[in-house]
Amino acid sequence: MTLVLASASPRRRDLLARLGVTPGRVAAPDIDETPLKAEPARIYVERIAAAKARAVERAPGEVILAGDTTIALGRRILGKADDDATVRKMLAALSGRRHHCLTAVCVIDSTGKMRARLSDTIVAFKPLSPAEIDAYVACGEGLGKAGGYAIQGRAEAFVRFLAGSHSGVIGLPLFETRALLLAAGVPLG
């Protein structure tokens, strides 16, 4: 049985290694990740994870694993920041506030059965000064990250409270992922 990681994220590969799993291959799906009008963040992240899993061709004996992470600030979805201005805007919005980091994991087993789990982690940032935001933007860590920050880097120092899955905020909740892989028959190391 071969595990296929439907993600180009090196963080997801590193997190899988914590479970003793190395993907047999990596296939980054190319899908439209635009939220639908008035789509709730939970529905959005589950839809995108499933779409990523379905977008990767599965050969006999392969198991597909896909995930998606987004930040929900109230009803707003803060997706991946694609430039410094977006990182700055997102950090200013998160400053001194609680938000939800939602990560959906989807597995398609070797028979084609799909299973999914959602991790919801509450994260509270300390109030950030303009200088702190400028320094974080300058380091470049927030680019390509949901909500404009990487908790496994310098932004961890902004977190005054976290309830839920730290690995889920990084991009792959290990508790949920482990359960899905075991249900799909993937041996763990």
Question: Residue ranges of the alpha helices (H) in the chain?
Answer: 10-18, 41-55, 84-94, 130-139, 166-170, 174-183
CA–CA gap between residue 65 and residue 88 (Å, rounded): 32
> Would you say 13 and 70 are in contact if contact means Cβ atoms under 8 Å apart?
no
CA–CA gap between residue 189 and residue 185 (Å, rounded): 13
Closest of 66, 61, 68 to residue 185, by C-alpha? 61
Length of the chain: 189
> Would you say 80 and 116 are in contact if contact means Cβ atoms under 8 Å apart?
no
> Would you say 28 and 53 are in contact if contact means Cβ atoms under 8 Å apart?
no
Helix 130-139, helix 84-94: angle, nearest 10? 140
Residue 127, exposed/middle/buried by CB under 10 A (0-12, 13-18, 19+)? exposed
Query: Among all residues, which ones are annotated catalytic?
Result: 68
